[in-house]
A and B are shown apart, each in its own frame.
Chain A
Amino acid sequence: MTDHPPLPHTRADNLGLLARASASRIQALLPDLPDHQVLRAPEIGTVMVRGRAGGTGAPFNLGEMTVTRASVQLPCGTVGHGYVQGRSRPHALRAAAIDALLQTDAAARIEAGVIAPLRAEETARRHARAGRAAATRVEFFTLVRGEDA
């Protein structure tokens, strides 16, 4: 990965990070949910994933993926939403609770205790994979055939 200047992480970045992380890892980092009221009980559904013809052309429907969503409200009134990949209801609920907490004065604690470790682990996973891929980088040579030489 190239070194970009660190960008401030937006709410969308954090929600994306929570969607991609594993449910068990988030649960390990935040075992206890804060007090909350469930506005939308965790619901399993699908999203139709689209691609583009030729990679850059007109959109087409590639196929669906499973997604689970939930919404919660903290006692202070703050609302959080979670949309996560897969079919884990606790994952969606936890993502929604974390989204809500990140909008309150608990944000710094959650950022340090949950978001930062998840982000570091994701970056490490990507680097490891990129390293594995780089080890299979290949140079092909075209051989000159005898009769052409």
Chain B
Amino acid sequence: MYVAVKGGERAIGAAHYWLAEVRRGPADQPAIHTDAIRDQLSLAVDRVMAEGSLYDPDLAALAIKQARGDLIEAIFLIRAYRTTLPRFGGSAPVDTGAMDIARRISATFKDAPGGQVLGPTYDYTHRLLDFRLMADGEVPVEGTGAEAAPSPAASDVLHILSFLNRDGLIQSENPTDADPGDLTREPLELPADRALRLQALARGDEGFLLGLAYSTQRGYARNHAFVGELRIGTVPVAMDIPELGFAIDIGEIEVTECDTVNQFTGSRTEPAQFTRGYGLSFGQTERKALSMALVDRALRWEELGEDDAGAPAQDAEFVLYHCDNIQATGFLEHIKLPHYVDFQAELELVRRLRADAAGTGADNNREAAE
């Protein structure tokens, strides 16, 4: 139990004043503009948008600046801001099949129809520090820019798994228009259906999901994931506008999508078929989307008739109740706040127990002596 404390205003004021100075850094250095954060630290911005669960690159950049680069603190700021806004409604589900592709790769099909597009990736870089970035801040851009032939039109770039699906080799997703549950409106309760699980994973902590996904690869509920397709690009977001009586695009967002092809199921009556996991997140966040897909697949053990191996990634309660870094850090960090009354009670108890034990011990000794 937490009992409120009073006092400390002056110290808190001085601490916040110092914090503001430290955040700004030496006055002879130029301050970082939020535009520069948005455009030059864009992967940090994307992570804050994904886990803050609010797509707004300018706000995410501001939060990163205010939080001195602490991304969880920045995500906290975004989540807090979001609660001050009214919600106008829900969009139509985005059509990732009509994405304007910046990146599209498949680890399962070398000759994927529509081609493989690497996009702006760190894959195949040597992970050597580039000291030129430190020396003068600029690296000459070498080689090639745009090529004459543009990518195929969006409608040509089908999901790669749809080719497997055509032959019935992979389990299909049933399109429905059921209104999905929303854990920002109703507290998450178990059992949670896949829509709620995907929402929780989409806003879940990248590090936590990465660790869980890795655990499935190492053998805790192993499900042999291949990256069927990973794509990054922009999709329009459409919503029905009541006063207009029709749907319009209210904007365009960048998303990362990952489809995994996983170990197959099958029985005497049903032919063998691959299964799938799914990841989708705001921005260019492919480690997150990939982790999400592996954990989504692990959590589907029940509906796919698999055994509960007792693995952490299969345990919906464990995963869903611990993947939110704002819930986690809120509870974790509150133990830094004064708990004097709490602790006094514990201290009293321990002292009494020790006194009792000492008293009993003394009695025993006396009895033995007599």
Contact = CB atoms under 8 A, between A and B. Distances in A.
Interface in A27-71: 43-67, 69, 71
Contacts, number: 247
A142 B109 CA distance: 11
Q: How large is the interface on B (under 10, 10 to 19, 20 to 34, 35 or more residues)?
A: 35 or more
A90 interface: no
Most buried by B among A58, A83, A85: A58
Q: Is the interface of B mostly helix, strand, loop or mixed?
A: mixed
A85 B248 contact: no
Interface residues of A, number: 58
B88 interface: yes
A126 interface: yes
B150 A127 contact: yes
Contact of A65 (B56, B150, B173, B278): B56
B225 to A, nearest CB: 14
Contacts of B146: 128, 131-132, 134-135
A133 interface: yes
A13 B176 CA distance: 26
Interface string A1-45: 110000000011001100110000000000000000000000111
B8 interface: no
B259 A54 contact: yes
Contact of A49 (B91, B102, B173): B91
A54 B249 contact: no
A84 interface: yes
B280 A58 contact: no
Contacts of B147: 131, 134-135
Interface of A: 1-2, 11-12, 15-16, 19-20, 43-67, 69, 71, 81, 83-87, 126-142
